[in-house]
Amino acid sequence: MHTPPWFVLGAGSIGCLFAAYLSRAGHAVTLILRDRNTVAELRRAGGIHLNLPDGDGARETVACSAISLEELNTTEQSLSIQRILVCTKAHQTLDAITGLRPGLDNNAQLILLQNGMGVRERIQPLLPTTTIAQAITTEGGWRRSAFEVVHAGRGETLVGDTRTAAEAEHIAASLGCALHIHADTGFASRQWLKLAVNCVINPLTGLRECRNGELLHQTDVASLTRRLCGELRLVAEACGQSLSQVQLEQTVFDVMRGTTANQSSMWQDLQRRRLTEIDFINGYVVRQGHSHGIDCPTHEALLRAIQQKEKDLGCA
């Protein structure tokens, strides 16, 4: 039986990390890149350079096919995307999905693997027959250069938010590789826990220009984490998810310790003078809070600070 290839949309740290591991496991993988120049750059590099974790210094070059969004829309070949892992930044997803719609199979499986919340609600109306699942990951990765990714910390990837548990299990199994990927029946609560991690680590590392583990040694981080988790807990409860303050704070600090060498995606974006996902992270908490009459001043302060830094740096 023919197994359809995996397409990976977005070649940031997580997109490159998953594309490399899927390819290493024998899957046919095609990266969907911005333009022909970026495709040519990948080909010149010979593939994705993967720096393996555990401090052994091992580095592999993993072959990977690529196509640009422009080629997707102009190729004379019949191209049917049946399985796609979406690793673009949250604020870029709607435009990217619109661009690849001509190549999407009517019954495609689309898995959102990105920071923040609120994207699925925006793209589902565009793709009424597409199965859209969501995934969250605690794998630590950062890019040393365009197609060189450092796997900085091992974690796990959870798949959920599907119509049935069996569907989530099938999707998780289809992503089989050396990464720890599985379905989770408690996905919604885990998604809020992941959001809490992003709401603390991403903006703080972006503003302070430091790696995740460096936050552990900064004296005000514990109190900031307490306030951020407290505000998020109230919003999550209003949205139907009951989470404990202790669980939220512990999860945040566990990720800091587990990804000490990692550069958060938000700090990486700011270093490259690119817009961040802040609107789908702390911004999501602020908007949901407002809709339920809950003030989130700490989240709002970080939202404004990152937006100001983006403006100062000329991010686009």
**Residue 156 burial by Cβ neighbours in a 10 Å radius (0-12, 13-18, 19+):** middle
Which DSSP helix (H) or strand (E) runs through 97? helix 93-100
C-alpha to C-alpha distance for 62 and 294, rounded to whole angstroms: 48
Catalytic residue among 89, 194, 309, 311: 194
Specify the amino acid at residue 138.
Answer: T
Q: For the chain, how many residues are written? A: 316
- Reduce the DSSP state of residue 14 to 3 states and report it: helix
C-alpha to C-alpha distance for 22 and 179, rounded to whole angstroms: 9
DSSP H helix total and E strand total for the chain: 12, 12
Q: Which residues pair with 61 in a beta bridge?
A: 49
Full DSSP string of 110-146 = EEEE-SSS-SHHHHGGG-TTSEEEEEEE--EEEEEET
Active-site residue flag, 89 = no
Full DSSP string of 100-111 = HGGGEEEEEEEE
The two most distant CA atoms of the chain are separated, in Å, by 59
Q: For residue 258, give Cα distances in angstroms to 153, 177, 214, 243, 296.
A: 6, 21, 12, 21, 28
C-alpha to C-alpha distance for 297 and 93, rounded to whole angstroms: 28
Residues acting as catalytic residues: 194
